[in-house]
């Protein structure tokens, strides 16, 4: 039995790039985004253990309520949003979205690293 509301391959590919090739620039940007997201979690966790305070109010509330799991949930949620935006936009705009998120993530990791260096 099939549903009348199922997506065709073309409709699904519009939202999720299945079977398509990932451009080199997008592969590099996704690598940067995933690595900086991981480093953000690590540097934040180390900073909290050293007595530093999370600067992002939303992240701070999640950490206070759920610990590092809350931070991971926030980060995964952000990555899902970026992936959905990336999949929905044309090549130029999706590249801009990835560059923007990669820059912000890199900046956050740099700030976390500077904060860690000041307390070590």
Q: Where are the domains of the chain?
A: 24-119
Model's pTM, two decimal places?
0.81
Residue 46, classified by CB atoms within 10 Å of its CB into exposed (0-12), middle (13-18) or buried (19+), is middle
Digit-by-digit pLDDT tens for the chain (120 residues) are 444 445 455 554 555 555 567 899 999 999 999 999 999 999 999 999 999 999 999 999 999 999 999 999 999 999 999 999 999 999 999 999 999 999 999 999 999 999 999 998
CA distance 63 to 39: 16
CB atoms within 10 A of CB 107: 11
């Amino acid at each position: 039995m099939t549903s009348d509301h199922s997506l065709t391959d073309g409709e699904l590919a519009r939202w999720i790039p299945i079977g398509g090739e990932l451009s080199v620039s997008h592969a590099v940007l996704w690598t940067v985004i995933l690595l900086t997201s991981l480093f953000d979690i690590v540097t934040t966790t180390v900073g909290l253990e050293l007595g530093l305070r999370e600067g992002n109010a939303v992240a701070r509330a999640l950490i206070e309520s759920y610990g590092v799991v809350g931070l991971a949930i926030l980060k995964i949620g952000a990555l899902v949003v970026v992936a959905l935006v990336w999949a929905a936009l044309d090549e130029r705009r999706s590249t801009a979205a990835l560059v923007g998120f990669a820059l912000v993530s890199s900046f956050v990791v740099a700030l976390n690293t500077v904060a860690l260096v000041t307390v070590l």
